[in-house]
Structures are given as structure tokens and as C-alpha cells.
């Protein structure tokens, strides 16, 4: 099939039937679990996974768990509840703020932020981690800057030193790992399985937390590009608010898109270029189809390959010495 | 010590875990081979600051400047014309 914008089009009905078959076989026959737990974030991926779980087991054998913490947008929980109601699924909220505070998650993060911005005040300032936005044009490297915004003041950005970067990430990863802990509590209490929500982008490029959101019994959409997840969302009747919402990290106190935090391109463009890389389509051919220069496509090829290579550790299972 | 040797020493000790048997050539692809990852880039930036007094702005953090020992050396030499005297 020649490369073009059509290459990521799927038949959502057929794809749903396939996933439902695998979910049923794996969870009921292989794992002998009676239902499914889905951590529901208010974003597109967990919404689609909830829809697939409902198709597989029926709403009465699915539990949605919403796990906000103090940096979460209130809109996330609102959208999640609306979707659970639409699907007829029981949804519970487990606020993780107190637990994370008990683990000193916020203090650890704040300490690292202050090493970069000594005047940082978490009661006033909003922070986020950002990458350069010139991937297409210049192919710049993935070096994070810390952005700090105070109401009424200008945004300030500084390149993160290694120690501060690692500490901020390690602290914020406590959020995803606490969510994993909580969904497994509810799964074990009911003899259910945990259904993961990682898509192909998150898994292959390492945009997940090992033993956090990467911790699940099955990953039903891990083989799908984000744009294909959206195709399933329409088929499964995901609420329009979630479909229309820009994907966010919902992890740091400032509003932040996933494009800004990690991917550096809009999903529709990135997915097509990534498909080209996956299928060894020459950069020049992709460039013609997408009205880009060959150099721009090569910049993205390089970035995708680098992200995949440098995050192999996250995808590795514990190794046994023989 | 020459600029190139100081950078080589840093890469060997910091990115190659001290493996001096590694055949690190001027054109060995540091980024494309995974010898330097994104964390390594930040460490390298700090090293360039400490070793040569260079403030590397984000717009200079490009594969064209960082992907090989030769490119790194050229970058430092361009930024500090008298660096060879260091």
C-alpha cells in the first residue's frame, strides 16, 4: 500500500470485535478473573478502554476508578464521571492527595523546583516541564526546561540540571505508581483484572511510568496509534467532551498538553511519520505525502528512534540471571 | 589537555562507564547509537560549562553539535576561539 494519510484508517467495528475477543479469552479463560478495573482519567485512552471493557464484560462487571490528586484538573473527574454514567458503569473516586503527601511526593518535587527557582512558592506558582517546540524545523534534542508561572507575572523557563530533572520526575512518578497500587486494591478485592490504558505512542516512546500506569494485566490498545484510538472512541460512543479535549499530562500544577511535555508534534502528524518509520518508508516519500521537507521528516525519524531506544529500559521485564 | 581529549575523557567515564576499550572515534554517533541519551545531553551541557566555561543555550542543543566527538570539539572551538590554549 503506498504511503498516504489513509494508512492509519481502521475498521473500528472489526478492531473492537478483535479486542473484545482477546480481552474475554485472556481475562476470563486464562486469568480466571470475573471482571475489569479501569483507572479512568477523563482522557481519551482510558475512555476507550472503558468502552472496550463494557463491550466485553457488560457494565455490571466493570469498575471505573478515578484517582485525582491536588494537581489534577477538576474537569478530568467531571468528564470521567459523565462517561461512566453514560456507560452505566459504577465509578468511585479515590483522592490520592493525602497518600501522596504522606509519601512526601509534593515536598520532594518542591525541593527540586526550588533548586532551580529559589523563590518558588507552590501556593502561588504553577510549574510544568517542557521540551523545545522546533523538532520539525531544527531537530533539537530532548532537553527539558522547567517552566514557572505566577499569576500576574511572566512565565520563566530554565533548562533543568540533571539532579533536579531526575528528582522532579521521580517525585511525580509516585502519582502513577500510587494509582497502580489503588487499582490493584480494587481488583484484588473483587477478583477482577486491571485493564491498562497505554496506547502505542505511550508504550513505544516511553511515555509511561514503569510499574505505574505501565502496570496492568493486559494492554488492549497498546498496538494502536493515538489517531486510531480516536477512531475507536467515535465508534464506542465516547462523550464528545473527552474526544474534543486536548490530551494533557494532568500531572504538574500548570496546564500542559502531551505535545508540549513529550511528543513535540500534533498526534495526526506524528502518527503518520511514525507509521512511515515503522514501515521503513523513505523519508522523502513521507515528506511528499505530508507536504514537508525530507529534512523535517528525518528530524522526526531521529527523535522517534532516540526516544524508543532510550526508553527500552522502561519496557523491559525483570530479567533473571541464568 | 586538548579539548577533544577532555570531552573524550568525560564521555568514557560518564557515558561508557569507564570502558576505555570502546573504540570511540571522532565520528562515532553518540546520540544515534544511544551512548548519550537525553539525560546524558544535560550532563554534557553541565560538563561543557564546568570544563570550558561555556553556557550552552537551548537553541544550540542540536544533533549537529552533539552527535560525535568531532562535532562536540568543533562546537567548543567555535564558541571559544582560544580554547585550544586551555
Domain layout of chain A by residue ranges: 12-101+167-315, 102-166
Partners of residue B46 in chain A, C-beta under 8 Å: 161-162
> Are the beta carbons of A165 and B39 separated by less than 8 Å?
yes
Integer Cα distance of A292 and A286 in angstroms: 8
Q: Where are the alpha helices (DSSP H) in A62-198?
A: 74-87, 97-102, 105-116, 135-138, 162-190
Are A44 and A242 spatial neighbours (Cβ–Cβ below 8 Å)?
yes
- Kindly give the confidence (pLDDT) of every residue in chain B, 86 residues in length, as a single tens digit, with 9 standing for 90 and above: 699 999 999 999 999 999 989 999 999 999 988 899 888 898 999 999 899 999 898 889 999 999 999 999 999 999 986 544 44
Q: Determine how many CB atoms are found less than 10 A away from the CB of residue A104.
A: 13
Q: Which of residues 152-191 of A touch B (CB under 8 A)?
A: 159-162, 165-166
Sign of CA dihedral A271, A277, A278, A281: positive
Facing A162 at nearest CB: one of B34, B46, B61? B46
- What DSSP letter does each residue of A188-246 carry, written as one string? HHHT-EEEP---HHHHHHT-S-TTTTT--SB-TTTTS-HHHHHHHHHHHT--HHHHHSP
Q: Which fold has domain A12-101+167-315?
A: Rossmann fold (3.40.50)
CA-nearest residue to A135 within chain B is B62
CB atoms near residue A288 (< 10 Å): 15
pLDDT of residue A233: 98
The number of C-alpha atoms within 13 Å of B53 and in the hemisphere containing its C-beta is: 5
CA distance A112 to A174: 15
Which residues of chain B have a CB within 8 Å of the CB of A141?
31, 38, 41, 61-63, 66
pLDDT < 70: residue spans in chain A: none
Do B42 and A310 make contact, defined as CB atoms within 8 angstroms? no
What is the β-pairing status of strands A145-149 and A126-130?
antiparallel
Q: How many structural domains does chain B have?
A: 1
Please tell me the number of Cα atoms within 13 Å of A76 on its side-chain side: 25
Residues of B in contact with A295 (CB under 8 A): none
- Indicate the pTM of the whole model: 0.91
Torsion angles phi and psi, residue A157, rounded to 5? -130, 140
State the smallest CA–CA distance between residue A31 and chain B in angstroms: 38
pLDDT of residue B81: 65
Cell of A155: 512565565
Asked if residues A168 and A129 have their Cβ atoms less than 8 Å apart, the reply is: yes
Residue range A88-132, pLDDT digits in tens:
999 999 999 999 999 999 999 999 999 999 999 999 999 999 888
Taking alpha carbons only, the member of A228, A236, A222 closest to residue A22 is: A222
Residues of chain B with C-beta less than 8 angstroms from the C-beta of A138? 59, 62
Spell out which residues of chain B touch residue A264, defining contact as CB-CB under 8 Å.
none
CATH number at residue B70: 1.10.1200.10
Q: Chain B residue closest to A303 (CA)?
A: B32
- Residue A170: count of CB within 10 angstroms of its CB: 13
Residue-wise pLDDT for A203-232, tens only, equals 888 889 999 999 999 999 999 999 999 999
Q: Quote the ipTM score.
A: 0.83
Range B53-80 burial, b when 16+ CB lie within 10 A, else e: ebebebebbbbebbbbbebbbbbbeebb
Amino acid at each position: 500500500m503506498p504511503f498516504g494519510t489513509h494508512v492509519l484508517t481502521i475498521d473500528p467495528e472489526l478492531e473492537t470485535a478483535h479486542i473484545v475477543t482477546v480481552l474475554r479469552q485472556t481475562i476470563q479463560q486464562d486469568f480466571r478473573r470475573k471482571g475489569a478495573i479501569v483507572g479512568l482519567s477523563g482522557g481519551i485512552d482510558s475512555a476507550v478502554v472503558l468502552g472496550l471493557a463494557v463491550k466485553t464484560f457488560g457494565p455490571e462487571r466493570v469498575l471505573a476508578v478515578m484517582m485525582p490528586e491536588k494537581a489534577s484538573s477538576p474537569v478530568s473527574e467531571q468528564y470521567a464521571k459523565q462517561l461512566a454514567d453514560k456507560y452505566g458503569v459504577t465509578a468511585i473516586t479515590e483522592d490520592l492527595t493525602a497518600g501522596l503527601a504522606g509519601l512526601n511526593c509534593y515536598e520532594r518535587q518542591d525541593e527540586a523546583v526550588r533548586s532551580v527557582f529559589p523563590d518558588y512558592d507552590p501556593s502561588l506558582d504553577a510549574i510544568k516541564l517542557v521540551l523545545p517546540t522546533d523538532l520539525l524545523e531544527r531537530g533539537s534534542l530532548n532537553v527539558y526546561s522547567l517552566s514557572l508561572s505566577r499569576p500576574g507575572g511572566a512565565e520563566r523557563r530554565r533548562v533543568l540540571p540533571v539532579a533536579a530533572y531526575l528528582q522532579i520526575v521521580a517525585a511525580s512518578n509516585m502519582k502513577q505508581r500510587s494509582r497502580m497500587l489503588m487499582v490493584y486494591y480494587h481488583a484484588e478485592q473483587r477478583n477482577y483484572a486491571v485493564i491498562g490504558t497505554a496506547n502505542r505512542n505511550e508504550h513505544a516512546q516511553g511515555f509511561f511510568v514503569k510499574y505505574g500506569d505501565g502496570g496492568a494485566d493486559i494492554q488492549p490498545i497498546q498496538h494502536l496509534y493515538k489517531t486510531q484510538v480516536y477512531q475507536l472512541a467515535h465508534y464506542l460512543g465516547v462523550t464528545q467532551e473527552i474526544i474534543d479535549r486536548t490530551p494533557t499530562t494532568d500531572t504538574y500544577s500548570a496546564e500542559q498538553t502531551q505535545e508540549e511535555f513529550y511528543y513535540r508534534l500534533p498526534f495526526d502528524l506524528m502518527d503518520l511519520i511514525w507509521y512511515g518509520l515503522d514501515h521503513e518508508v523513505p523519508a522523502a516519500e513521507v515528506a511528499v505525502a505530508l507536504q514537508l521537507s525530507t529534512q523535517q521528516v528525518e528530524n522526526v525519524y531521529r527523535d522517534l528512534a532516540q526516544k524508543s531506544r532510550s526508553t527500552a529500559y522502561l519496557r523491559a521485564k525483570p530479567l533473571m540471571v541464568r | 589537555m586538548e579539548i577533544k581529549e577532555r570531552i573524550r575523557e568525560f564521555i568514557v567515564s560518564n557515558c561508557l562507564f569507564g570502558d576505555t576499550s570502546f573504540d570511540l572515534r571522532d565520528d562515532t554517533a553518540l546520540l544515534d547509537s544511544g551512548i548519550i541519551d537525553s539525560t546524558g545531553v544535560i550532563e554534557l551541557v553541565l560538563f561543557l560549562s564546568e570544563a570550558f566555561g561555556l553556557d550552552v543555550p537551548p537553541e544550540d542543543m542540536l544533533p549537529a553539535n552533539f552527535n560525535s566527538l568531532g562535532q562536540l570539539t568543533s562546537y567548543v572551538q567555535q564558541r571559544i576561539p582560544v580554547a585550544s590554549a586551555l
